[in-house]
A and B are shown apart, each in its own frame.
Chain A
Amino acid sequence: MTLRLNGSTSGYVEIDAPAAAGSNTLILPDGNGTANHSLVNDGSGNLSWFNGGPAFSAYPDVATNVANVTFTKINLQVEDYDTGNCFASSRFTPNVAGYYLFTMAVQATALAQLAPILYINGAMRYWGNSMGSNTFDSNGVAIAYMNGTTDYAEMYAYQASGGSAFINDQRYRTFFQGILIRPA
């Protein structure tokens, strides 16, 4: 069975079912949505407009003192953007389940074996680059699944220079970013 909608001057649009259609209902949302939003299914046939999911970018406005061989959370007080209002208190708690790409960068003001580290739910998950001694800038990229309710991500730093090191608060050298790349 096909539902045909004729154009007012010419042509038509048809909505069709597969040959073996089963028993399915798709319920459209009650609005036209926003430009570039797409329809997504909740698995029960309820369709809604989807804006692509959360994305954020944040950086510190004060330098963080990291003691030798001490995993230290980098507080990120300034947001460049936070599309889903999911970033607060230096913690990203996305409200859409799926796979997220994270990028991290830290820069130290002293010689240090330096690395950014992605923490998920308070535990170390992925290391960034740690390029031995005399490293000033280190970066990291990771993909992690987040459940869209309770999972949260934070950025820590680690250095083993033998003494303390300050993590720079310049936006272009120390930052933490994340974006949904695939809904669950």
Chain B
Amino acid sequence: MTLYEQITALYPELTSDDFSPFGGTIALQNDSDGRGDYIREWNHPTLPEPTPKQLAEVTQ
């Protein structure tokens, strides 16, 4: 399960516009250094940035 899938499972109300690089409020990134995907920016006006624990629970 990718980070994007975890986030959208936790917050089903998010749309592709929220992740748009032009005007969206959430940016995901992977620096290909073995650490995997991470949240680079979270500026959503109402939803709080999920914690690692919340994201981990989604995959269970």
B22 to chain A, nearest CB (A): 9
Chain A contacts for B40, CB-based, 8 A: 71
A71 contacts B30, C-beta separation under 8 Å: yes
A72 contacts B19, C-beta separation under 8 Å: no
Residue A70 contacts which of B16, B33, B37 (CB distance < 8 angstroms)? B37
Q: Name the CB-closest residue of B to A90.
A: B32
A59 to chain B, nearest CB (A): 14
Tier of interface size on chain A: 10 to 19
A41 to chain B, nearest CB (A): 39
Q: Name the CB-closest residue of B to A60.
A: B32
Majority-rule SS of B interface residues: mixed
Majority-rule SS of A interface residues: strand
A73 contacts B32, C-beta separation under 8 Å: yes
B59 within 8 A of A: no
Q: Name the CB-closest residue of B to A75.
A: B32
B2 contacts A164, C-beta separation under 8 Å: yes
Residue B4 contacts which of A68, A73, A74, A75 (CB distance < 8 angstroms)? A68
Contact flags B36-52 to A (C-beta < 8 A → 1, else 0):
01001000000000000
Q: Name the CB-closest residue of A to B19.
A: A69
A168 to chain B, nearest CB (A): 15
